[in-house]
Amino acid sequence: MSPADRSASGSGPAAIRLEEVGMTFPTSSGPLRVLEGVSIAVRPGEFVSLLGPSGCGKSTLLRLIADILAPTDGRITVAGESPETARRRRAFGFVFQDSTLLAWRSALQNVLLPLEISGDAGEGRERARRLLDLVGLTKFESAYPWQLSGGMRQRVAIARALITEPRILLMDEPFGALDEITREYMNLELLRIWQATGTTILFVTHSSPEAVFLADRVVVLGVRPGRVKLDLAVELPRPRDPALKETVEFARHTATLRRALVGETRLE
């Protein structure tokens, strides 16, 4: 699905749908309400950024969608199914903040891990090589994680998430630990990969420029309990390049987000 299709109304089946989702963690000092009445729908092929200050529960939200955690309230569907079914059918890939590459596996072996676990590693080698091509690591298939830079490791992690050909990619601050130059480069790479694969992406970040630069839509979460404060459609042309960040239009978007975020931190 190409980005152009996103104008085709929200009436179709959503890639990800959250309805009144709430999450409470039991802690030693009583229950902690992390998320409250969160409703979001992500259309197929859409790139949505989930933005919020630290502690707003955006990572938790991603883990609810990925069936790593179960919500206390509300309903979640992923590709029209329950998160558990979607997970078992490998409908989504997940990219963590740290690359979580296995240190004893080469880049290629790391990319192949999901197929080994699902038991169809046999025909995957060629696909794994093509994905390493796609993320620009053709020459590094036999390199071990310690031999790769932070940005390279994260690209291996993206290739690994894509190996099962998921329709949805969940990304939890994947470039948060990278320096600014590498991060900008990785943003461009991610947009290129997104265009090439047509995957739906839900991208968690705490950087508003990053959120705007990448996404079709930015959803801002408030703090404790996290709820949707703002749902901003990004009306900037694609394909996007770094020069876009110097435009007034871009600044207007980030300013809107900043105001929404500042309002949040005052609450604390």
Q: In what order do the strands lie in the sheet with 217-221?
A: 92-95, 168-172, 200-205, 47-51, 217-221, 228-233
Say which residue the tokens 């207007």 belong to: 252
Query: Which residues are at the interface with another protein (CB under 8 A)?
Result: 63, 66-68, 87-88, 90, 92-94, 96-98, 100, 102-105, 113-114, 116-118, 140, 143-149
**48 — alpha (psi -120 to 50), left (phi > 0) or beta?**
beta
Closest to another protein by CB, 96 or 185: 96
The neighbour count for residue 266, using CB atoms within 10 Å, is 7
By beta-carbon proximity to another protein, the closer residue of 94 and 213 is 94
Cβ–Cβ under 8 Å, residues 201 and 16: no
For another protein, which is the closer residue by CB, 42 or 260? 42
User: In angstroms, what is the minimal distance from the CB of 202 to another protein?
Assistant: 14
Cβ of residue 70: shortest distance to another protein, in angstroms?
12
d(CA 194, CA 220): 22
In the complex, the smallest distance separating the C-beta of residue 220 from another protein, rounded to whole angstroms, is 25
Pick the closer one to another protein by CB: 15 or 260: 15
CB of 87 to another protein, least distance (A): 6
